[in-house]
Every structure is written in structure tokens, then in C-alpha cells.
Chains A and B, each alone.
Chain A
Amino acid sequence: MIQFFHVYKTYARDVEALVDINLHIQKGEFVFIAGPSGAGKTTLLRLIFRDELPTSGQILVNGRNVVKLRDRAIPHLRRSIGVVFQDFKLLRDRSIFDNLALVYRVLGMPSAVGKRKAANLLRLVGLSHKSQMAPYRLSGGEQQRVAIARALMNDPLLLLGDEPTGDLDTDLSMDVMRLLGDINLKGTTVVVATHDLNMIRDLGRRTIILKAGRIVEEHS
């Protein structure tokens, strides 16, 4: 599903974000990328959905070399990937439902199909009864569940999470992790970046530990 071959990413003034990353994530896996902040976790995720290009090395996502992807093909890559962030990135000027509707509008789905899909996903994350509410009236955990539902709107093969539980307390974090586990069980590959080693220690998932842009440890 995801393969990195000798990937380097260097920002201006020789800041080395990633150094010689080699990694292989299989279809259907659930993988944590762990490490302190500044270790390069976010950069690694951004490379996967082609928000950034590596300085050198090759990256395959679902059989496509994203480094050589043409600009015009980027939207197609992103349609096969769902992304959730620490700050949820929900639009405050519209309801929960309309936050999901944005996706089917962007993808040009017929509105009947899109509405049904949005309703189903809100049921999956347990928020059907709050679909007409504004995001700020929901708790952090609920907002993250909305963000996950939105990330699933395009039936992604791959779900990426960048510190999705960073702003949540332990109980809510475990809720979100369970939800991500359920989604993984249905076949979606899940990759989650987190700095919270304590939280993931008991989950028994494959974990790749980054430090200063290098993979220093890996266990499953």
C-alpha cells in the first residue's frame, strides 16, 4: 500500500526533516508512527498524500509513484486517501452534515447518493442526532468523529491521522482509536501519527518510532 525508498526531506537552511526513510506498509494494516514532536511524523504523512515532495527518494502509494505524479493527477490520488488532523479542520460556518456534504459536492456525486452516504457515516460514528448542529457545539471527541466521517466520504483505501487524539483526554482518545480500529477491520489501511507512546503501548499495533527524522525502532 505504501512504500518509501531512501526518502530524504530537507527544508531550507539544511533542516533535515526526514533522513533515509525506508518503509513498507501492507494493504489492510494499522500502523502507528510515533515519536516526539519535531521527529518528522507530519512530514512523513504529508509526503504520502503529496502535500509535499521529498528532496530525494521514491514513494509508492497504492502502486502509484507520487513523486512523479503530475499536478493534474494529484486530486485522483487524494480521492483514495482520507486525512484527519489534531485540530479537526471542520468548517465552523456550517452544520455537521454540510461539512460532509462538501466532499460529495467536490467529487461531483449526485446529491441523493451523497446525502445517503453522509447520513450512513454519521450513524457509523454515532452522531446522527447532531447532524444539524454547528461543530463548535460538539465536544472535541465528537468533532474528531465528524472529521473521521468526512475523511471516509470518498471511500478511501487509506486513512491517515496526524495526532488525531492530540487534543483529547484519555477516554475520548480511546473512543477515537476504537473507531479507527473498526474502520481498519473493514479493510481500510490506517496510519496514525502520535507522540503519545503510553496510549498505544497496550494496543498491540505495529509501531514505527521516529527520532530526528530517522526510524530508530520498529516493533509489531
Chain B
Amino acid sequence: MERLRYILQDAVINIRRSGWGGIASIGTIAVSFVIVGIFLIITGNLGALVAEWKEQFQVTVFLEDKITAEQLALVKKRIQSERAVKGMGYTSKEEALQSFKRELRGKESLLEGLGENPIPASLQLRIHEAYQTPEALRSLTVSLARLEGVDDVLYGQEWVDRLTGAIRLLRLLGLSVGLALGMASLLIVSNTIRLAVYARVEEIEIMRLVGATKMHIRAPFLLEGLIQGALGAGLALLLLFGAYRATLWQLQLTPGQIFGIGVGSFLDPRWAGAMLVAGASVGAFGSLISVHRFLRA
């Protein structure tokens, strides 16, 4: 117990004495983790966005103006028999025009001069997630497009696919950038600790002379690195959270409101915890490198 207290005190003294070097270590780790954190937040939110899109994903079946009531009934029946379809909505020509007008609010004049309503009626199909694959959607759209009274069938699957690909790329990029910055942090922490070891060379010599164990000599330095790492990662989380709140405030949004859907959340607490652990590990490992190299005996 006594020994543990002495080691803790020594570690705190080390950190105080490390001055600018210690601040540089903590700062470097913080900057690295801010960058990694930005990637994590972006990919996390894009992931949520994709999930949201998949949930709301729909196939639109545009109907010909000259479709008859019997043909429409037949099309609906045919669609309802499709296993991929979760639900269906109908938008008449008039409704479609009204909603288009709403979207053009303030610029309705653009529509003046159009004789008759140019917007087709449509059916909106919600699709089971399991069928949201390029192949399933292609076969569905091809078979629906052949029906009498159907003009065209459109869906936004390309976007979902591209976004999923982009997220994968971002994750990979974030991971490699994170690894590179992690290495840089490691070197800087190990350098700071090396300076701390140099500064205490005389003290270490005397400690050895009076019979200090290796553990007793090394533990304060390890702890110093660990604390620096954890402080750096903690600082990064604070900075990220501050920037996140500031961005939301700037956009006058509450969390979860960006794009009007469930996106715009901060880091998952598990990720935040993982960042703290990673910071502490980088710090401890960095100091281990130095201490191991300079305190062989």
C-alpha cells in the first residue's frame, strides 16, 4: 500500500516536471484522437443515415395518364402478391401536383403556363430490407414495368449502394489515418518519457544503489505515460463534444434532427470508452518503449 502511494506520487511529480514535453504529448494524442473521432462520428452517422434510408426505401411505380380503373386494380393486385413488398401507397395526379407545389413554395410561378397537370400518378412501394439488393430490385422493377398502364419504375438503390461503399472507404481511411497518428503519438510519448528518464538519471542511479526493484523504478514512468495518454484521449473527447454541440447550435438543431431523420448523434459511449482505453494504452506502450530501452538493469 505504502509502495503504491509512493509510486503514484512519483508519477504525478514526473508529470508536473515534464512541463512542455508533457503538454506536447497530451496535445499530440488529443489531436490524433480528435481526427480519429471525427471519422468515427461521420461514419457512425452515415451508417445511421443508410439504415434510415433502408427503412424508408421505396420503389415508385409511375402510372400512365390513360390507365383505366381495371388496369390500376390489376396492377395493385399484382404488386400485393409480391413477397418483396411490405406496403403500398397511392398518389393521384392531383396530390402529386399539390405536393410538388408545396416543394416549390414561393416559386409557384414556374408552374404557370402549364396547361394540364404534367405530373403522373404513382404507387409507392415499401420494400422488405431483405429484398433491397440490386438483383431482387432489378427483377421486381422489370416485371412491374411490363404491366399494362405502368409508365416507369424508379428506385434509389444506387444511392444506398454508393453510400454504403463510401462509408466502407471512410472507415478504412479513418483506420489508416488513425494508425499513422497512433504511431506518431507513440513516438512522441516515448520521447517525452525518455526525456523524463534522462532528467532523473541520477535519482534512478541512487534508487538502484539502495536496492530499488526494477518495478519500483519503472512503474512511475509507465503510469506517467498511461495518464498522459488517457488525458490526451479525454481532451479529444471534450473537444469533439464541444465542436459537436457548437455545430448543432449553429445549425439550430437538436440532436437527432439533422436531415430530419435520426442522424446527428455523438459518439457511441462504447466508442468513447474505447478511445480512452486506446489513449491510455498508447501512452503506456510509448513509455514502455523508452523505459525498456534506457533502464535495462
Residues in chain A within 8 A of chain B (CB atoms): 49, 71-72, 75-79, 82-83, 89, 91, 102-103, 105-111, 150, 153-154
Contact = CB atoms under 8 A, between A and B. Distances in A.
Given A102-B207, A108-B3, A111-B2, A89 B212 contact: no
Q: Considering residues A77, A78, A109, A110, which has the most beta carbons from chain B within 10 angstroms of its beta carbon?
A: A78
The 10 A-B residue pairs with the shortest CB-CB distance in the complex, in nearest-first order: A79-B211, A108-B3, A78-B211, A106-B212, A75-B211, A105-B6, A75-B213, A103-B210, A106-B207, A108-B2
A153 B207 CA distance: 12
Given A106-B207, A108-B6, 6 more contacts: A49-B209, A78-B210, A89-B209, A105-B10, A106-B212, A107-B212
Interface string B215-251: 0100000000000000000000000000000000000
Interface stretch (B22-30, B64-72, B198-206): B198-206
A61 to B, nearest CB: 13
A154 B2 contact: no
A111 B6 CA distance: 10
Nearest to A113: B2
A69 to B, nearest CB: 13
Contacts of A103: 210
Nearest to B208: A78
Nearest to B205: A89
Contacts of B203: 91, 102
A71 B213 CA distance: 10
B211 A89 contact: no
Contacts of B202: 89, 91
A169 B2 CA distance: 41
9 contacts: A75-B214, A79-B210, A82-B210, A83-B209, A89-B202, A103-B210, A105-B6, A106-B207, A108-B6
Given A108-B6, A110-B2, A75 B212 contact: yes
Contacts of A106: 6, 207, 210-212, 216
Contacts of A111: 2
Interface string B167-190: 000000000000000000000000
B210 A154 contact: yes
Contacts of B10: 105
Contacts of B216: 106, 108
A166 to B, nearest CB: 18
A146 B67 CA distance: 107
Contacts of A49: 209
Contacts of A150: 206, 210
B209 A78 contact: yes
Contact of A102 (B3, B206, B213, B214): B206
B66 to A, nearest CB: 94
Nearest to A103: B210
B9 to A, nearest CB: 8
A153 B210 contact: yes
A157 to B, nearest CB: 13
B2 A76 contact: no
A71 B10 CA distance: 24
Contacts of B212: 75, 106-107
Interface in B1-56: 2-3, 6, 10
A111 B208 CA distance: 20
Contact of A91 (B206, B210, B213, B297): B206
A19 B105 CA distance: 103
Nearest to A114: B2
B3 to A, nearest CB: 4
Contacts of B210: 78-79, 82, 102-103, 106-107, 150, 153-154
A103 B210 CA distance: 7
A103 B216 CA distance: 12
